[in-house]
């Protein structure tokens, strides 16, 4: 896997150009790089390009850039022509460009290549690399801690360490004369412009199908072996269908399920594998796989926990046994069309009636620890909070009242939220949520981040065809009615059609077992990892004895949380999402305990079971 750690001290930046060999003999002194990357240097500039770009030839022709010698050389030529042209590139990449008085760092639109952490003097690709820096103070950021415990991740530019930030996907960092500035490459104003209200669904489907196939062709170009993830749904099913329209060779497919799960998608994935003739590989999770969590935490960098994280790890581990040259993933497509549209429609209608303050007040009252039991009041709290806070990312962890008693030094968390909280038009509100929450948070900070990090852990080249630049640019021109079918009332009653265009395009092609199946929600049942009594006792003992628990929590409250979970584990739950939420909270505690132990130790190796 690729990584880097570098120094941004002014004298070191200038020293890069102190010899004729320039970058090549300075690399071990100022920027330590591991892994595969493309490098190019001139007398005035140097670039390191990590990752993969799939449309270089196309963009080079459009911009009349010729005679480049490498991907890095092309990137530098495009950047120097106009840095905004980087938006044309399709791929997963992180670029670092040095000149004599500044450094530019650019991440791709969805941040699917290397993460970038930075302080006033240092830059690296993993937050644990700050342990290597002499005299750097590893102090926990209390506000970021609260955000993680609530949401399971820390949205950029925040990180878990004081004095350290991380570069948001689709942004450019400029370091010049000791001053750091951040430039967004993509804006909401640009996202919402150029909508074509007259396009018809049939025409849109033809174009979408064409762009989908082109995205796949560009990703498998000159590859000797092809793989893809199959989950049994429209997204992965769409990938294998489109792949088979442009490629007839051998394909390996990979699926993960849960043992003894009545909603397992493994039979549907096998159906797709049979129909489209893939060499299929599957694995069933039994819960013992939580033993891999320390190495996952070490790879992720900042504290991170999401229900599909273990699935991403295990499917990439499965791939690594017989690794194809490229693997196609179906992640992110839901968010292109808008998710939780029913709740958004209800939010809009309630707001229009002037009742939103009342709903927010009622759900805030229900946030009290007194209403934390597995009953109807919890269900009302959960659903009321989701509707009233639909312009924030989902919170499955600890709320503020819970953290207030849990933490010794409680600082309220910052919700990953849209800066725009209202609109007079429903379709405009859909665009707000899609840009600021569905894409900027769910895709960039969660889904593609975890997928790409787990792929990198096993040196797998994972790419996401639905995230192609051409598909992104096309879908943002479509009216809401083609993304989600139905009017406001129909959508609010659950009678709308989500991902309307995608299903219109694929329904005639995929097996009926896929197209006629009701969507299950795509969640992983986290309680399965705590079902084994002996394993649960070991995990809970580790949490109680960890450095983090001793330093930052009221241990009696932690003990009560774990005891309550154990007591409830043998009872039939009233509502699945209560048990899932409780398991999420325990997972969040476990991850932050492991993370802190790794941060404060001399090794990434940690055995907690």
Q: What is the mean pLDDT of residues 108-130?
A: 91
Residue 248 maps to a domain: yes
Instruction: Answer with the one of 186, 203, 230 that is the final residue of a domain.
Output: 186
**What residues does 327 pair with on adjacent strands?**
227, 462
Instruction: Place 605 in a pLDDT band, splitting at 50, 70 and 90.
Output: low
For residue 10, pLDDT over 80 is answered with no
**Element at 257 (helix H, strand E):** strand 251-258
With respect to residue 11, please indicate whether it lies within any of the assigned structural domains: yes
Q: What CATH number is attached to the domain comprising 162? A: 3.60.20.10
Residue 25 in this model has a pLDDT that exceeds 50: no
Q: Say what the pTM is.
A: 0.93
Domain-located, residue 99: yes
Of residues 138 and 367, more confidently modeled = 138
CA angle 54, 55, 61 (to 5 degrees): 155
Residues 149 and 250 in one domain: no
Residue 258 Cα distances to 308, 353, 373, 510, angstroms: 12, 44, 27, 24
> Are the C-beta atoms of 387 and 343 separated by less than 8 Å?
yes
Same domain, 318 and 205: yes
- pLDDT value at 15 more than 80: no
Distance CA 422, CA 399 (A): 24
Residue 363 located in a structural domain: no
Q: Is residue 608 part of a domain?
A: no
The region of weakest confidence among 10-24, 160-174, 185-199 is 10-24
The predicted model gives 428-435 an average pLDDT of 97
Domain end, chosen from 186, 214, 235, is at 186
Residue 13 confidence (pLDDT) above 70: no
Residues 240 and 282 in one domain: yes
**Which pLDDT value is given to residue 20?**
37
Taken as a whole, the chain contains a residue count of 609
204 and 168 both lie in a single domain: no
Average pLDDT over all residues of the chain: 91
Residue 27 has pLDDT above 80, yes or no: no
Same domain (yes/no): 102, 25:
yes
Considering the domain boundaries, does residue 177 fall inside one? yes
Please report how many Cα atoms fall inside a 13 Å half-sphere around the Cα of residue 547, on the Cβ side. Answer: 9
Q: Are residues 12 and 112 in the same domain?
A: yes
Task: Judge if 297 and 173 occupy the same domain.
Answer: no
Note whether 68 and 169 are same-domain residues. yes
**Rounded to the nearest 5°, which phi and psi values hold at 223?**
-95, 140
Q: How many domains does the chain have?
A: 2
Confidence class of residue 407 from pLDDT cuts 50, 70 and 90?
very high
Is the same domain home to 203 and 322? Answer: yes
Is residue 307 one of the residues assigned to a domain?
yes
pLDDT digits (tens, 9 = 90+) for 45-77: 889 999 999 999 999 999 999 999 999 999 999
Q: What is the pLDDT of residues 212-252, one digit of tens each?
A: 999 999 999 999 999 999 988 999 999 999 999 999 999 99
Burial of 24-52, coded b for 16+ CB within 10 Å and e otherwise, reads eebbeebbebeeebbbbbeeebbbbbbbb
**What is the CATH number for 199?**
3.40.50.620
Task: Quote the domain boundaries for residue 252.
Answer: 190-336+448-477
pLDDT, tens digit (0-9, with 9 covering 90-100), for 134-150: 888 999 999 999 999 99
Task: Specify whether 180 is located in the same domain as 203.
Answer: no
Q: Residue holding tokens 């620890």?
A: 369
520 pLDDT more than 60 = no
Choice among 24-33, 76-85, 376-385 with the minimum mean pLDDT: 24-33
pLDDT score, position 603: 63
Q: How confident is the model at residue 28 (pLDDT cuts 50, 70, 90)?
A: very low
Percent residues over pLDDT 90 in the chain: 77
Pick from 53, 104, 55, 47: which is nearest to 77 by CA? Answer: 47
Q: What is the rounded CA–CA span in Å between residue 371 and residue 365?
A: 9
Domain membership of residue 521 (yes or no) is: no
Pair 239, 147 in one domain: no
pLDDT, mean of residues 593-597: 96
Choose the final residue of a domain: 477, 496, 522: 477
Clarify whether residues 114 and 205 are in a common domain: no
């Amino acid at each position: 896997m690729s990584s880097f750690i570098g120094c941004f001290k002014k004298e070191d930046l200038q020293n890069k150009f102190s010899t004729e060999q320039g970058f090549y003999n300075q690399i071990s002194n100022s920027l330590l790089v591991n892994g595969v990357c493309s490098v190019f240097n001139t007398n005035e500039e140097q670039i390191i390009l990590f990752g993969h770009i799939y449309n270089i030839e196309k963009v080079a022709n459009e911009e009349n850039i010729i005679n480049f010698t490498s991907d890095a050389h092309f990137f530098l030529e495009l950047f120097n022509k106009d840095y905004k042209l980087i938006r044309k590139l399709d791929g997963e990449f992180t670029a670092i460009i040095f000149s004599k008085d500044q450094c530019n760092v650019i991440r791709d639109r969805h941040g699917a290549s290397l993460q970038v952490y930075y302080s006033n003097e240092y830059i690296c690709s993993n937050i644990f690399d700050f342990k290597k820096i002499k005299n750097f103070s590893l102090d926990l950021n209390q506000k970021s801690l609260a955000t993680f415990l609530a949401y399971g991740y820390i949205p950029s530019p925040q990180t878990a360490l004081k004095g350290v930030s991380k570069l948001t996907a689709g942004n450019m960092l400029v370091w010049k004369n000791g001053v750091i500035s951040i430039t967004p490459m993509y804006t909401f104003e640009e996202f919402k412009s150029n909508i074509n209200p007259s396009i018809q669904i049939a025409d849109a489907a033809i174009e979408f199908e064409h762009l989908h196939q082109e995205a796949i062709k560009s990703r498998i170009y000159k590859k000797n072996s092809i793989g893809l993830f199959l989950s049994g749904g429209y997204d992965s099913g769409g990938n294998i269908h489109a792949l088979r329209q442009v490629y007839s060779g051998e394909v390996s497919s990979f699926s993960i399920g849960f043992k003894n799960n009545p909603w397992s998608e493994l039979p549907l994935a096998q159906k797709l594998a049979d129909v489209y003739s893939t060499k299929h590989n599957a694995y069933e999770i039994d819960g013992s796989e939580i033993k891999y969590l320390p190495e996952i935490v070490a790879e992720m960098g900042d504290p991170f926990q999401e229900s599909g994280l273990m699935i991403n790890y295990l499917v990439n581990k499965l791939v690594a046994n017989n690794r194809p040259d490229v693997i196609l993933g179906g992640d992110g497509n839901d968010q292109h069309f808008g998710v939780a549209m029913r709740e958004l429609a209800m939010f809009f209608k309630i707001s229009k009636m002037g009742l939103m303050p009342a709903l927010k007040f009622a759900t805030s009252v229900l946030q009290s620890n007194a209403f934390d039991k597995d009953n109807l009041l919890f269900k009302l709290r959960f659903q009321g909070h989701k509707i009233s806070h639909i312009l924030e990312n989902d919170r499955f962890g600890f709320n503020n009242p819970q953290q207030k008693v849990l933490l010794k030094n409680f600082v309220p968390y910052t919700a990953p939220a849209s800066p725009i909280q209202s609109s007079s038009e429903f379709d405009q509100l859909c665009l707000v949520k899609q840009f600021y929450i569905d894409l900027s948070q769910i895709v960039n900070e969660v889904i593609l981040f975890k997928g790409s990090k787990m792929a990198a852990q096993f040196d797998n080249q994972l790419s996401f065809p639905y995230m192609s630049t051409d598909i992104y640019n096309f879908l943002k021109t479509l009216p809401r009615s083609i993304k989600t079918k139905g009017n406001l009332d129909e959508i609010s009653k659950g009678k709308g059609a989500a991902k309307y265009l995608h299903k219109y395009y694929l329904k005639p092609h995929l097996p009926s077992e896929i197209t006629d199946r009701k969507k299950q929600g795509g969640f992983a049942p986290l309680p399965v990892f705590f079902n084994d009594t002996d394993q649960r006792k070991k995990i809970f003992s580790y949490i109680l004895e960890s450095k983090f628990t001793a330093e930052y929590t009221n241990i009696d409250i932690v003990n009560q949380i774990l005891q309550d979970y154990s007591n409830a584990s043998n009872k039939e739950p009233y509502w699945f999402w209560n048990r899932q939420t409780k398991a999420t909270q325990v997972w969040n505690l476990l991850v932050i305990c492991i993370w802190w132990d790794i941060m404060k130790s001399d090794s990434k190796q940690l055995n907690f079971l």
